[in-house]
Structure 1
């Protein structure tokens, strides 16, 4: 799966994202709208991670879907 496919199937993967990153709220998930960059941004906000680490986590998660 790639970032473009994620955007198209976001509704299907919201539960997986919430399980992966439990600190994300329903509002965070709604704002992300399947955008990998926005997801990384929300992970940075909630977990205090740096940009590269958050982006790597999102990439690894997408690759595993």
Structure 2
């Protein structure tokens, strides 16, 4: 899914993101507002993943949409 579409539909998609990554808070997802790099950083912080792993997870999420 195109990054611009994700940003435009973030309020709807953030619920799906919350289900997939339950360690993210509502505040994390609200601030992310569809910004990929912020989301990758929060996944690294909450799950202790390396940047490549977090980017891979976000890419899988985007592809599943």
Q: TM-score, with normalisation over the residues of structure 2?
A: 0.94
Q: RMSD of the TM alignment (CA)? A: 0.8
Q: TM-score, with normalisation over the residues of structure 1?
A: 0.94
Alignment of 1:26-65 (within 5 A): 26-65=26-65
Alignment of 1:3-42 (within 5 A): 3-42=3-42
Structure 2 runs not aligned, ≥5 long? none
* Aligned partner of residue 14 in structure 1, secondary structure: helix
- CA drift of 1:2 comes to 2.2
* Higher relative contact order (CA closer than 8 Å, sequence separation 6+): 1
- Residue by residue, what CA displacement relative to the aligned partner does 1:2-55 show, whole Å, maximum 9, x if unpaired? 222111110110110000000000110111011111111110010000001001
Structure 1 runs not aligned, ≥5 long? none
